[in-house]
Structure 1
Amino acid sequence: MLRRPARIRHTSRAAAGLGAFLVTATVASSALASGPGGQTALATRGGTVVSIRAGHRTPFVIAHRGASRYAPENTLAAVDAAHARGLVWVENDVQRTKDGRLIVMHDTTLNRTTDAAKVFPHRAPWRVRDFTAAEIARLDAGRWFGKRFAGTRVPTLDAYLRRLDRNHQGLLLELKAPEQYPGIEAQTLRELRAHGWLDRAHLRGRLVIQSFCVRCVRRVHTLMPRVRTGILGRPPLSRLRRYARFADQINPRMSEVSSRWARAVHRLRGAHGRRLEIYAWDVGTDASVRAVRARAVEGVID
């Protein structure tokens, strides 16, 4: 769960719409490291540590699949693009290869964001689970986005975590289609532990695990209760109290957020004793910061 958002001064005053805001504002979260007097020490662009004042109501921004408007989604280039724009949290999607390696990929098939159809023309529908990590490592995951990204590779979760640590960024990790990958919850936790991501510092302010699969979120909480978790989608009001026992966030599509529903979410305390939070996605490029704030969400995944 992320604590109440805070902000650093905008790097540009031209951010009129949310789309501009996402890439011109230097955004940070008080979740990373709380200091005395409401101050927060944060690592931002270039690793510079700055102090910010908590309590602002500017929506907190998490870079969806990295800065995916500026680099190929879910790649290390997208992580770095987010870092270059001062975005200190990124969201990604984790799946498993045929030989049991965890990789970062949104679609359950490879053909939209890689050249899998060209490299392996006879292996349609190019499902992630049908390819080994070595085979996926051969694919170009960047040329579709632009020539300058040609040769970009699909990252393993191992490489992704290393890059986030280098950049001092936090991670909103989605377990993608976990029903296709039995045991991926425990495997993901093992890999996070192997890279030091289950230590006190990461757990307090640099990691949230989310999924559309409610039972998978509950399983993560059961296996590692200290990990903050989020449920994707907009569950009915009747289920919120039960979900709050093992979740810290409810993360719906922005169009599904009503003021009544948001108030019901915020009346509950999540698994770690803090008010349930809402991080909305599919915001739309023409939405203003004011409009997002009016929905009473803590932040956006965009």
Structure 2
Amino acid sequence: MNVSKFLPAGARFVRARLLVLLILPACAALAQSAPPTVIAHRGASGYVPEHTLEAKAYAHALGADFLEQDLVLTKDDVPVVLHDIHLDTVTDVAQKFPQRKRADGRFYALDFTLAEVKQLKVTERFNAKTGEPVFPKRFPAHRSTFQISTLEEELQLIEGLNRSTGRKVGIYPEIKQPKWHRVQGHDISRVVLPLLHKYGYATKADPCFLQCFELAEVRRLRNELGWRGRLVMLTEAKAVGADGTDYAALSTAAGLRDLATVADGIGPAISRIVTWNAAGQPTFTDLVALAHAEKLVVHPYTIRTDELPKHCPSSDALHSALFKESRIDGVFTDFTDVTLAWLRAAKVR
């Protein structure tokens, strides 16, 4: 029986208000329970040489939500997609331009024009001193033909794939070592932002997260350069970064509260969230809970099935610790398909 019709009008109003107050939090919780975000770390880098257009196309096909772009500048101020400021761990630069190394023996992208960079062959990552592959079971070194791409070339590829497939895969660019670039006389952030705007990445409604390891640059991007899109502060496992950023302080409640005034999320090393002891038992920090309390998304890095964290017993254990126990919002992965398969099996995708 519906007894509400027998209640006085005032009582019915109070009852309705109580129902609204009870329902709204539940609706809010549902709105926040979006599927975890899968970010292709340097593309499908577990299968194809990192940051090549082929790696990005394959990650797109595997179902990634976002594709990552690490960005450095060439001598003529063209942003290229390359994990390091160095060229000698993923290309044949030492053979093509042996006299162009600096005093430290390294070859820097910033010392080469785009035309020169385009002459290089990209290969699977290797140790510059020994020549040995970093990941021996991945794509064979020095096989096939791959190139370094510009940011604009990659944005056009993603734009084209999104159109032809009907998917809406986002981008996740990182400004690499902006302080170092400025010391060398180049302002990488001022070069990158106009390109992002040109291709429709300008606001928080656009499928883009801009990331950086340097706190001063994160603040500069937001406050001085006027970036209005989503912004992520990356944090290393070590306490302090090369530029002086205090990652330990940033990982506290006070640090995250302050960070939330400029950033939308954090990208911590996995070890800042969970570690394993010699018996394979996990120990969790409170970082995710602290970040969520400040409404910051948490996207840790990096899931590698061929290089699990120390003492982590399996890929399943790693995924479970991150998604089930820690409740992260997304993750960087070298193996998009493996992470997606786990999420689907766990019924969270």
| Structure 2 equivalent of residue 163 of structure 1 | 157
Q: Aligned partners of 1:284, 1:111: CA distance in 2, in Å? A: 23
Structure 1 equivalent of residue 193 of structure 2:
189
CA contact (8 A) 1:62 1:299 kept: yes
Q: Does 1:279 align with 2:283?
A: no
2: CA distance between counterparts of 1:117 and 1:225? 37
Give the stretch that moved more between structures: 139-148 or 56-65: 139-148
Are the aligned partners of 1:62 and 1:88 in contact in 2 as well (CA < 8 Å)? yes
In 2 relative to 1, CA 180–296 (structure 1 residues): closer, same or farther, beyond 3 Å? Answer: same
Structure 1 distance, partners of 2:197, 2:331, is 27
More helix by share: 2
Tell me what 2:292 maps to. Answer: 266
Report the alpha carbon displacement of residue 147 of structure 1 after superposing the two structures with TM: 7.0
Give 5+ residue unaligned stretches, structure 1.
Answer: 1-37, 39-52, 269-274
Shift in Å at residue 196 of structure 1? 3.0
- Does the C-alpha gap of structure 1 residues 279 and 192 become closer, same or farther in structure 2, counting only changes over 3 Å? same
Equivalent runs, 1:97-136 vs 2, <5 Å: 97-124=74-101, 125-136=106-117
How far off its partner does 1:167 sit?
2.0
Return the offset for 1:185.
Answer: 1.3
Distance change (3 Å), C-alpha of 1:253 and 1:55: same
Partner of 2:50: 73
For 2:34 and 2:108, the matched residues in 1 are separated by: 42
Question: 1:168-247 alignment to 2 at 5 Å?
Answer: 168=162, 169-182=169-182, 183-198=187-202, 203-222=204-223, 223-233=225-235, 234=247, 235-237=250-252, 238-247=254-263
SS at match of 1:146: coil
C-alpha displacement of 1:224? 2.7
Q: CA deviation at 1:136?
A: 0.3
Q: What amino acid maps onto 2:40 in structure 1?
A: A
TM-score, normalised by the number of residues in structure 1: 0.74
- If each structure's strand is expressed as a fraction of its own residues, which one has the higher value? 1
Matched, 1:248 2:252: no
Aligned match for 1:138, one of 119, 140, 144:
119
C-alpha distance in 2 between matches for 1:261 and 1:86: 28
Corresponding residue SS for 1:150: coil
Alignment of 1:39-58 (within 5 A): none
From the superposition, tell whether residues 171 and 204 of structure 1 become closer, same or farther in structure 2 (CA, over 3 Å): same
Residue identity opposite 2:149 in structure 1 = P
Q: Is the 8 A contact 1:143 1:150 kept in 2?
A: no
Query: What amino acid maps onto 2:177 in structure 1?
Result: A
Distance 1:97 1:212 in 2: 20
How many corresponding residue pairs? Answer: 242
Deviations 1:96-150 (A, max 9, x none): 0111111010011101111111111122211111111111010011477437962
Give the TM-score normalised by structure 2: 0.65
Deviation digits for residues 275-298 of structure 1 (CA, Å, limit 9, x no counterpart): 211001033423323222112211
Structure with higher Rg: it is 2
Deviation at 1:92, TM superposition (A): 1.6
- Structure 2 runs not aligned, ≥5 long: 1-26, 126-138, 163-168, 236-246, 274-283, 306-313, 334-349
Contact 1:60 1:298 in 2 (8 A): yes
Q: CA RMSD in A?
A: 2.3
- 2:23 paired residue number: none
Quote how far apart the aligned CAs of 1:229 are: 0.3
In structure 1, C-alpha distance between the alignment counterparts of 2:140 and 2:116, rounded to whole Å: 22
Q: Distance in 2 between matches of 1:111 and 1:216?
A: 26
1:172–1:278: structure 2 CA closer, same or farther, 3 Å change rule? same
Higher mean Cα deviation, 122-131 or 56-65?
56-65
Residue 245 of structure 1 aligns with an amino acid whose one-letter code is: T
Q: Once the two structures are aligned, what percentage of the paired residues are identical?
A: 31
